Amino acid sequence: MFSRITGSLKRIGFNNSEQSHNKTSEKQRHVESDEESSPSCKKSNCRPERHAYSRPYFLRLSSEEEMLSRDFRERPVIVSNEPSLIPLGAGYAECINGGKSEMNEDEAAVGAFHLPTHPNGLVDAVRNIDMIDVQYFGIFDGHAGAGAALMAADQLINHLQEKLVAIQDDLFLRLPRESTASCFDDSKSKYININIDILVTGALESAFCDFDEHIAREKNMFNITGGCAAIVVLVMMDRVYVAHAGDCRAVAYIGNDNVIMAREFTPMTDSERIQAVANLKPDLTYSFFSDNYFLKPLSKKDLGTQVYCRLPHRRGWYYKEVTEEDLSKPSLVAGQGKFARLMGTIGVTRGFGDHNLVMPGTSLQVKPFLTPVPEVRVLPLSDRQVQENDILVVGCDGLWDLLTNEEIGASVKASLEQTSREKLLGQDRFNTMHPT
């Protein structure tokens, strides 16, 4: 099964780039509410760093190369010195932002493990494969420090492996019997419609949430700065799973089709969920913010006029007459596109960390409106004619801000074709020099 996947997905391209800005921070104005933000605590090193700063291990950078990678004036593109360390022949490249931070706050991780058929000595005649191979890829887009991203790159895979091990017997029971999109009715359970994709989705969601709680616990002992968006790819059982919590994106280019596997979560695109939280728990904002969402920022001249508005727990827009209360209470979400902000503070709404983030000048906690719960999408490979040059590109927001989906797909495929031609030319020269 996996020989075909390995042969078909020669490249899963990971691109990580940040758009150059001179602003203090495009994603977040970060304020810590606990003692670690105080100057005295910083001077005395109250808490040790959870992880020493480094670039992803699979890059195999020398100390000189790592220093070069921090030059935001040149912004060199860094690739792995040992590509064989990345599973499935995938490619990776990174580039530091345009000067928003001294070092690259983004991190990445890769890994591979397998789930054995009968770890407890169980034997079942319907189980006809020895193990499930799992290939793991992750990108963690850090902000306001690299602490959360470093910890995610090191620890998230452990949480995920634990969740998959817990359901491995259920996966094996369903594999031989399950046809495409079919569901398995376990005789020991009253629950139906629990198929492989739902089980793996649950494992990913649970792993993300457990890891975020892991950060919250360890912040009591360690200095874990900032937060990070997260996007994870699993290749297993003839499927590709993409779990996404943040403002990254993933696109699969299969034949002439561009399949969106993850789209950015921003205060605008995630506003329905944020409104619902504020409406159900108004004490979280001390009634300072409104849970209404107006299509445009309001000013005094809008008083008494009709403006498009969306109420909590609704999807549609309607005309609402602007009142004094609407003007006195700002919306939780304000701004448009890349400039949209949650509580005027942060430009992302999902991810890890940010447990001590407060709205500047207040004690209002932002974290209750942030969530680590990912959106999970599945790409079955068994019903597609996957070819050698079909790819999946996963990247942070900076990449997709600069290029369209079509431009990125065309660029990566052109690079792969060039590499293939160079390999063929090299083989032809070898055959000429060493005829059989």
62-93 pLDDT, tens digit each: 999 988 888 888 888 999 999 999 999 899 99
Mean pLDDT, residues 332-361: 90
Q: With a threshold of 0.85, does the pTM exceed it? A: no
127 part of a folded domain: yes
425 part of a folded domain: no
154 part of a folded domain: yes
SS3 383: coil
Question: Same domain for 253 and 284?
Answer: no
Question: Same domain for 149 and 221?
Answer: yes
Question: Same domain for 79 and 137?
Answer: yes
Residue 172: band (very low, low, confident or very high) from pLDDT cuts 50, 70, 90: confident
243 part of a folded domain: yes
Question: Same domain for 83 and 104?
Answer: yes
pLDDT of res. 79: 92
Higher pLDDT, 154 or 402: 154
How large is the C-alpha radius of gyration of the chain?
Answer: 24
* Residue 337 and residue 268 in contact, taking contact as beta carbons nearer than 8 Å: yes
pLDDT of res. 2: 28
Question: Same domain for 32 and 139?
Answer: yes
With tokens 């058929």, the residue in question is: 117
* Residue 136 and residue 160 in contact, taking contact as beta carbons nearer than 8 Å: yes
* Residue 104 and residue 69 in contact, taking contact as beta carbons nearer than 8 Å: yes
Q: Roughly what angle, to the nearest 10 degrees, separates helices 196-218 and 147-174? A: 150
354 part of a folded domain: no
362 part of a folded domain: no
Those residues with Cβ within 8 angstroms of residue 302's Cβ, 6 or more apart along the chain or in another chain = 322, 327
Measure the CA angle with vertex 104, ends 162 and 354; round to 5°: 55
Question: Same domain for 200 and 69?
Answer: yes
Model confidence at 220: pLDDT above 70: yes
Mean pLDDT, residues 5-31: 40
User: Taking Cα atoms as reference points, which of 354, 310, 302 lies closest to residue 31?
Assistant: 354
Q: Which domain holds residue 145?
A: 2-265+370-402
Written as one letter, the residue type at 410 is A
Q: Residue 88 has which token pair?
A: 């499935």
Question: Same domain for 214 and 255?
Answer: yes
- For 56, counting Cβ atoms within 10 Å of its Cβ (0-12 exposed, 13-18 middle, 19+ buried), the class is buried
What are the tens digits of pLDDT across the range 290-306? 899 988 888 999 999 99
Distance of CA 186 to the CA centre of its chain: 33
Handedness of CA 248, 408, 1, 109 (dihedral sign): negative
Model confidence at 36: pLDDT above 60: no
d(CA 228, CA 205): 16
User: Taking Cα atoms as reference points, which of 368, 367, 378 lies closest to residue 236?
Assistant: 378
Model confidence at 430: pLDDT above 70: no
Q: What is the percentage of the chain residues whose pLDDT exceeds 70?
A: 80
Question: Same domain for 140 and 287?
Answer: no
Written as one letter, the residue type at 361 is G
pLDDT of res. 428: 53
pLDDT of res. 5: 31
Report the CATH number that the domain containing residue 200 is assigned in CATH.
3.60.40
Question: Same domain for 175 and 322?
Answer: no
Average pLDDT for the chain: 82
d(CA 261, CA 69): 29
Question: Same domain for 333 and 213?
Answer: no
* Residue 346 and residue 247 in contact, taking contact as beta carbons nearer than 8 Å: no
Structural domain count, the chain:
2
* Residue 373 and residue 245 in contact, taking contact as beta carbons nearer than 8 Å: yes
433 part of a folded domain: no
Distance of CA 354 to the CA centre of its chain: 15
125 part of a folded domain: yes
Higher pLDDT, 181 or 102: 102
Question: Same domain for 54 and 94?
Answer: yes
Question: Same domain for 89 and 23?
Answer: yes
Residue 284: band (very low, low, confident or very high) from pLDDT cuts 50, 70, 90: very high
pLDDT of res. 44: 37
